[in-house]
Amino acid sequence: MIPVDFSYWRPDTAEEAVATYQQLADGGQHPVYYAGGTEIVTRSRLGQLSCGAVIDVKAIGEARCLGRDGGRWHVGAALSLAELIHDGSWPLLARVAERIADHTTRSHITLGGNLAGTIAYREAALPFWLADADVTTVGRGGRRTARFADRFDGALALEPGELLLALSVPEGVLQQPSYAQKATRLDYVDYPLVTLAALHGAEGRLSVAWSGLKPAPTRSAELDAALMGPGSAADRARRAARHLPPTLAQDLHGTADYRRFVATNMLADALSALEAR
């Protein structure tokens, strides 16, 4: 339970949710949007969050959409990671999501919570960042649909009160060859030492995105280009690894040098696996 008194709201539309947020914020109630609630509950118990109002967005149909329409696959931000894994329409997203937390917790963590929460790893962002994804939000200025890559640079750029509603990718992306790998310090379920997601797109282009190398997800166009040159998988991986960020995270999960070593091997594994198909 959340150890504070708060008011509870359950709007039926995204516009109603945003209007409710603005009204409550103007009244000094410090509202938060709620779908899975894992971060809200945890941070409240730790005394890191004090909210006077919770706006439950699970009744908003668009926030729980899942399916194909107009040549794109649409997914609502209020869907849990477990639901996306069970659906399995996008294998790359499912493989990344199934290494985030444990099974029970994945039933509560939502896509939106992982993308827009305070935990910096945001691993579910990697597939959308690699694909030609769109993101739809609703804020004070109304609805806005934009390229995910234009609104995500390690973190999703949301204005105060702006609600992340849904994301979409071209249908063709769902079956493009892909690869995902996660290394952790000790347990199978843990924050990433390094997480890699790779997508073999049109014209043989290989794109890679990372979590764990830095405090926020990263990617590099120069690294992607280096992967497509001549040489063996190991040679190209070593060449591409020169374009990893010069300063990598160094913490209890691993040293910067070890992260660079793991990331280089992951690149070779990804190249070998994708090119063997």
Q: Give the pLDDT band of residue 48 (cuts 50, 70, 90).
A: very low
Provide the pLDDT for residue 46. 47
Q: Is the dihedral of CA 243, 245, 247, 253 positive or negative?
A: negative
Rounded Cα distance, 110 and 81, in Å: 6
245-to-67, 96, 225 alpha-carbon distances in Å: 36, 22, 15
Helices (H), 131-213: 148-151
Residue 233 DSSP code:
H
User: Regarding beta strands 31-34 and 53-56, do their DSSP bridges make them parallel or antiparallel, or are they unpaired?
Assistant: parallel
Provide the pLDDT for residue 41. 55
Fold (topology level) of 178-275: Enolase-like; domain 1 (3.30.390)
Provide the pLDDT for residue 4. 60
pLDDT over threshold 70, residue 39: no
Provide the pLDDT for residue 37. 63
Backbone angles phi, psi at 190, to 5 degrees: -170, 170
Domain definitions of the chain by residue range: 7-58, 62-173, 178-275
What SS3 state is found at 68? strand
pLDDT over threshold 80, residue 3: no
What Rg value do the Cα atoms of the chain yield, rounded?
Answer: 19
CA angle 12, 13, 16 (to 5 degrees): 95
Helices (H), 54-90: 81-87
Provide the pLDDT for residue 45. 52
pLDDT over threshold 90, residue 272: yes
Fold (topology level) of 62-173: 3.30.465
pLDDT digits (tens, 9 = 90+) for 76-102: 999 999 999 999 999 999 999 999 999
pLDDT digits (tens, 9 = 90+) for 57-74: 999 999 999 999 999 999
Structurally, at CATH architecture level, domain 7-58 sits in: 2-Layer Sandwich (3.30)
